[in-house]
Amino acid sequence: MSEKLTISDLDWHKPTWCPGCGDYALLAAVKQAIVRLELDPKNIVIVSGIGCSSKLTDYFKSYGFHTLHGRPLPVAQAIKLANPDLTVIVTTGDGDGYAIGMGHFIHAARRNIDITMLVMNNQVYGLTKGQYSPTASIDFVSGTTPQGSKDQPIDGVALALASGAGFIARSFSGNIRHTSQLIEEAIKHKGFALVDDLSPCVTFNKLNTYTWFKQNIENVDEDKSYNAESVISAFNRAKESKKIPIGLLYKEEKPTYDDQVLDKSRGPLVFEDLSLEQSEFEKLIEKFKY
């Protein structure tokens, strides 16, 4: 870009989230990270699924792809493989990413494909009126669990660790600066990067509020004894801590899927000439005739 990128350059449609929703902070944090990284919006693709979180593609001025429920990761991986020069970011929710999209999440993490996944985690399906999500705590009361949920909650961070993700962080929407720093590091990381953002739903979740999170989180970035390069340390902190750990929980540099499967000498697949001569087309048709 000829001129220095600003936050306003990334503004698109006005967000329609509920006033106070944590997703506003996540959107602001993404914009701040992009500006600091000086990335050209025309080289950014944001892929989303379905839910309040996935509306972010409408509010960010770059290329975007709004997919089906739980399906942003397969689309994002295809985009990255077709054109590795793009910065590919997935915005999803805890229901979209950890429920119907869980299978895709595990495989994207283990492949270590170079994309960034941002999960706006609010413990409910906010877009469809507050049903409990996979991350909701036991006894969580909602429209679908009036007597309280009896399901064990999913921990996206622990799942990412077990699946082999190379960059795992958790942020809190109540701290935009810290969230933005983590997102910046996630985008810079070469490989699959997860940022699980604790993003309060002010309309349907009256338990996990901003005040509740402030009282129940701890920032590992402020703990000089914490080793973010140890998967054991990350597991122990994620599962045994009395408070919810936020910050950079784990980081490992390793070969990416795209680097291993793509022939970089040929350039991005998206620029290859895939057209067929008439004779080649006729041979192809003949081959698949009944």
What percent of the chain has a predicted confidence (pLDDT) above 70?
99
Predicted TM-score of the model (pTM): 0.91
Position 222 scores a pLDDT of: 95
Q: Which domain holds residue 104?
A: 7-261
- pLDDT above 60: residue 237: yes
Position 76 scores a pLDDT of: 97
Position 185 scores a pLDDT of: 98
**Does residue 189 fall inside a structural domain?**
yes
Position 151 scores a pLDDT of: 87
Task: Mean pLDDT check: name the lowest of 38-42, 131-135, 188-192.
Answer: 131-135
Mean pLDDT for all residues in the chain: 92
- Residue 146: Cβ within 10 Å count: 7
What percent of the chain has a predicted confidence (pLDDT) above 90?
73
Q: Mean of the pLDDT values across residues 230-252?
A: 93
Position 1 scores a pLDDT of: 54
Q: How confident is the model at residue 126 (pLDDT cuts 50, 70, 90)?
A: confident
Give the residue with greater pLDDT, 229 vs 262.
Answer: 229
**Does residue 125 fall inside a structural domain?**
yes
Q: Mean of the pLDDT values across residues 182-198?
A: 98
Q: Mean of the pLDDT values across residues 124-141?
A: 87
**Does residue 254 fall inside a structural domain?**
yes
How wide is the angle at C-alpha 120 spanned by C-alphas 114 and 121, nearest 5°? 120
- pLDDT above 70: residue 26: yes
- Domain holding 50: CATH number? 3.40.50.970
72-82 and 102-111 helices, crossing angle to 10°: 30
How far, in Å, CA of 76 to CA of 224, rounded?
Answer: 35
Position 36 scores a pLDDT of: 97
Q: Mean of the pLDDT values across residues 23-37?
A: 97
Q: Mean of the pLDDT values across residues 139-160?
A: 89
**Does residue 235 fall inside a structural domain?**
yes
**Does residue 24 fall inside a structural domain?**
yes
**Does residue 75 fall inside a structural domain?**
yes
Sign of the Cα torsion 39, 193, 181, 172 reads: positive
Residue 128's closest CA among 141, 139, 143? 143
**Does residue 286 fall inside a structural domain?**
no
Q: How confident is the model at residue 252 (pLDDT cuts 50, 70, 90)?
A: very high
**Does residue 275 fall inside a structural domain?**
no
How far, in Å, CA of 230 to CA of 20, rounded?
Answer: 36
For the chain, the domain total comes to 1
Q: How confident is the model at residue 57 (pLDDT cuts 50, 70, 90)?
A: very high
